[in-house]
């Protein structure tokens, strides 16, 4: 008959002490908090860290009354979000990933996504889902719509490899994320839409990427069928901005436009501006970004399929200045999270551009 010998108590104590030190170092907290989380998770480091960051993320959203009404009260110790902590970058490139080729390194990658921050159900899991896509695609530029202040606060703590620009401070608004190692911000400003009824505006950033001068713009144009006139008015402002940009600058606009094709036809695109989806061949499988047939986040009895989220490009036209042309596009966010919901009720757009 064999017996299993328990390790000496001194060894167990020493091992757990090391685990506490490692946990505290990674999470930027003290040994008491580390011991609490490790003990609750059978001294398994990965489980304990996941539990810690879950509680940390919930604390970021704790000021939302909607989130409080949907979330059970957490028994674990919360972290004061106003206290300086060591940030763990959830969007940092994996050190094990292979170095991109010189050709890929010169490509500009972009994600545009309405993250539906106004929907507070499973917002914790869905915010983490966004970060997982940032890790997967490592975009240089991210356009975001329907951000709320807690969502931005979380991204600033957990996406530190990006510079985050906000298009507002209260309610809901747009934002941009710029990869610090690849994109340099020169100037930013917010262009108001004077007659909006829905707090909408145009967020503009002048940046450089490699040898390119870029004007990046994002917006969430007026929603709903009944606000078509205001939406078209806003589209005209965007197109005027695109055409007025200097000839040595490439202009990229993207966001949740809420546009219908008939509305775009009424406004008309300038000859220098192209719809990126159309330029890449109007592929059907990347057409609908708001699709209640496939996306079940909203309980809608009938099927709605629209290409609300769009990208527009005006390449630089000055002789001798390199431009950017669209290379490929995909829809992202089509996998359900563990909470059985998608990251957003919109699919995100991922697009790559190459020098011309």
Rg (CA), the chain: 23
**pLDDT tens readout for residues 74-110:** 323 333 334 344 455 767 665 444 456 666 788 999 9
256 is catalytic: yes
- pLDDT value, residue 115: 98
- pLDDT value, residue 97: 47
Residue 320 near residue 328, CB atoms below 8 Å? no
Catalytic residue among 256, 275, 309, 345: 256
Q: What is the rounded average pLDDT of the residues 229-253?
A: 98
- pLDDT value, residue 55: 62
Q: Find the DSSP H helices in 211-352.
A: 228-244, 261-267, 276-279
Q: Which of 19-33, 35-49, 126-140, 183-197 has the lowest mean pLDDT?
A: 19-33
Mean pLDDT of the chain: 86
Q: What is the rounded average pLDDT of the residues 263-278?
A: 98
Domains of the chain: 9-70 (1.10.8), 102-355 (3.60.10.10)
Q: Which residues contact 197 (CB under 8 A, 6 or more apart)?
A: 222, 227, 230
- Of 110, 131, 127, 155, which is closest to residue 313 (Cα–Cα)? 110
Enter the DSSP assignment of 226.
G
Q: Is the pLDDT of residue 31 over 90?
A: no
Q: Which residues contact 37 (CB under 8 A, 6 or more apart)?
A: 23, 48, 49, 51, 52, 76
Q: Is the pLDDT of residue 41 over 60?
A: yes
Strands 141-147 and 108-114: parallel
Work out the end-to-end distance of the chain between its first and last CA atoms, rounded to an integer number of angstroms: 75
Q: What is the rounded average pLDDT of the residues 109-129?
A: 94
Residue 259 near residue 234, CB atoms below 8 Å? no
Q: What is the rounded average pLDDT of the residues 166-183?
A: 96
Q: What is the rounded average pLDDT of the residues 200-229?
A: 97
**pLDDT tens readout for residues 49-76:** 766 666 666 666 664 444 444 433 332 3
Cα 333 to chain centroid distance, Å, stands at 11
- pLDDT value, residue 302: 87
Better-scored residue on pLDDT, 155 or 7: 155
């Amino acid at each position: 008959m064999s017996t299993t010998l328990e390790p000496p108590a001194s060894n167990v104590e020493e091992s757990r002490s090391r685990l506490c030190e490692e946990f505290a170092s990674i999470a930027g907290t003290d040994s008491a908090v580390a011991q609490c989380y490790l003990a609750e998770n059978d001294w398994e480091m990965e489980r304990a860290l996941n539990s810690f960051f879950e509680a940390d993320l919930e604390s970021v959203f704790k000021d939302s009354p909607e989130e409080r009404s949907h979330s059970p009260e957490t028994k674990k110790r919360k972290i004061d979000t106003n206290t300086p902590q060591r940030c763990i970058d959830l969007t940092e490139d994996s050190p094990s990933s292979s170095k991109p080729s010189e050709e890929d390194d010169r490509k500009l990658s972009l994600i545009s996504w309405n993250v539906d921050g106004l929907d507070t159900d499973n917002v914790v899991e869905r915010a983490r889902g966004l970060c997982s896509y940032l890790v997967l695609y490592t975009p240089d530029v991210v356009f975001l719509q329907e951000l709320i202040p807690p969502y931005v606060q979380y991204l600033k703590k957990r996406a530190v490899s990006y510079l985050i620009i906000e298009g507002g401070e209260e309610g809901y608004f747009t934002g941009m994320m710029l990869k610090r190692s690849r994109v340099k911000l020169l100037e930013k400003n917010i262009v108001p839409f004077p007659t909006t009824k829905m707090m909408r505006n145009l967020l503009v950033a002048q940046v450089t990427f490699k040898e390119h001068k870029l004007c990046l713009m994002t917006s969430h144009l007026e929603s709903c069928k009944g606000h078509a006139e205001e939406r078209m008015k806003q589209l005209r402002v965007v197109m005027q901005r695109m055409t007025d940009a200097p000839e040595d600058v490439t202009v990229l606009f993207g966001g949740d436009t809420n546009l219908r094709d008939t509305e775009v036809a009424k406004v008309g695109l300038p000859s220098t501006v192209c719809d990126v989806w159309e330029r890449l061949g109007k592929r059907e499988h990347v057409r609908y970004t708001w699709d209640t047939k496939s996306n079940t986040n909203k309980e809608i009895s009938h099927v709605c399929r629209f290409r609300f989220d769009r990208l527009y490009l005006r390449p630089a036209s000055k002789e001798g200045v390199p431009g950017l042309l669209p290379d490929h596009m995909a829809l992202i966010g089509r996998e359900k999270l563990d909470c059985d919901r998608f990251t957003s009720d919109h699919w995100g757009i991922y697009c790559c551009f190459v020098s011309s």
